[in-house]
A and B are shown apart, each in its own frame.
Chain A
């Protein structure tokens, strides 16, 4: 594996659009271990923060630094899965192979790695089907496979099970745990408290574009400090 890109350090990060401050002075550090969950109500800026960290957006103020890497170099060691999976108009296997071809992986090696990641995500039987005829849950698993196959150091997940039923959600979570077990750092947004309790180790609580609270999961759920987090956990935070 290439040298680590961690830690990720955000310094006074801000992002605005159309005269609105959507994220305000966020400073934090993310380490290579554990699952970091970004929690918060709709419109808190969770997806935005993920896109900024991944380099899809540029901050309007402040800095994002990866250990001794420029943002462009570091992007090659990252992958992202979006809330609505983007399915290329190709077969299931073709979608996964595309990600590898983009990283310059040779044909023979590509074939082997595609087969392996499809097996581990339970999609082997569907390998030859057009990706866009899969069910929502299968499409999201394919998106995970496509991200996993490049062996990223960090995987950003933007509400990966937002539109799925409980069974499909559980399968997605199982795959995420497997990806982490293979050595990839997980950074994930969710507004689903149940999911946050199941997967969370390191909780970042975002509200109104600010990083309101950060704690280990157990401490966060048993004793939130900020009034916003208390209200959110009680299901009373309305926007």
Chain B
């Protein structure tokens, strides 16, 4: 019990002193997950809106598939990406295995379906309200998509942040394709897993506290956005 308390004290001291190891791990985590979420949003937002608005062959299948992919196990995504980018894989020549780029790639696959599927629901709801007006105003397809994403911005932003939460918290995919190499591909979650098994609770706890803090920040932001939006009647 005493060890536990000491570990906590040391962990807070590490955070307070901006320990270089801790800072570089946190920085890499943020770099990988923020990049992955940005790319996933660029693909997922228009894809979700298109599935919501347009009737094309296979659209129903695609919606079901995206919903199913929302709960993809990270280790499975990691395995698939590993097979794709390992030396013998189809993308092996790119030499991506055990790089941050590979980790971003895996997280995009993990987060994009979440963003697309949740965006589809946001756009469907808003279309119920806006549909007749936009058709009456003679708004074209592209502009309709842009309008619904923009007018649903409070909820769309929450969707993107939900994706970020998923990316920051997952450990399986980045562990497999990143390899957890010190100073290269070691992020918060993989470090916590490793250091805990080594018995080095100080660094693991320090990172755990930072991760919890980020998670709280993300969810607090989602809550604040929702609150501000409903005050302005724009939710």
Contact = CB atoms under 8 A, between A and B. Distances in A.
A86 B129 contact: yes
B194 interface: no
Interface string B199-235: 0000000000000000000000000000000001110
21 contacts: A51-B132, A56-B135, A56-B136, A78-B136, A80-B136, A82-B133, A86-B129, A86-B132, A86-B133, A88-B130, A88-B147, A88-B151, A89-B233, A89-B234, A98-B137, A99-B137, A102-B139, A132-B232, A132-B233, A132-B234, A133-B233
Given A56-B132, A89-B234, A132-B232, 10 more contacts: A56-B136, A75-B136, A86-B129, A88-B133, A88-B151, A89-B153, A102-B138, A103-B137, A132-B234, A133-B232
Given A56-B132, A88-B130, A89-B151, A130 B139 contact: no
B198 interface: no
B186 to A, nearest CB: 43
A80 B131 CA distance: 13
Interface of B: 129-130, 132-133, 135-139, 143, 147, 151-153, 232-234
Given A86-B132, A99-B137, A130 B151 contact: no
Given A76-B138, A102-B137, A130 B132 contact: no
A90 B146 CA distance: 14
A54 interface: yes
A75 B233 CA distance: 30
Contact of B138 (A82, A103, A133): A103
A130 B232 contact: yes
A82 B136 CA distance: 10
A51 B234 CA distance: 27
Contacts of A133: 232-233
A187 interface: no
Main secondary structure of the interface of B (DSSP, over half): helix
Interface residues of A, number: 21
- Looking at B130, B132, B138, B232, the one whose CB has the most chain A CB atoms below 10 A away is B138
Q: From B135, B136, B143, B233, name the one whose CB has the most chain A CB atoms within 10 angstroms.
A: B136
Given A75-B138, A132-B233, A132-B234, A90 B143 contact: no
Contacts of B143: 102
B132 A82 contact: yes
Interface string A74-105: 01101110100010111000000011001100
A103 B135 CA distance: 12
A139 to B, nearest CB: 10
B229 to A, nearest CB: 8
Interface in A122-160: 130, 132-133, 150
A150 B133 CA distance: 14
A79 B136 contact: yes
B156 to A, nearest CB: 11
Given A132-B232, A132-B234, A54 B138 contact: no
Nearest to A95: B133
B135 A90 contact: no
Given A86-B130, A88-B151, A102-B143, A130 B233 contact: yes
A88 B234 CA distance: 9
A88 B143 CA distance: 14
A88 B133 CA distance: 10
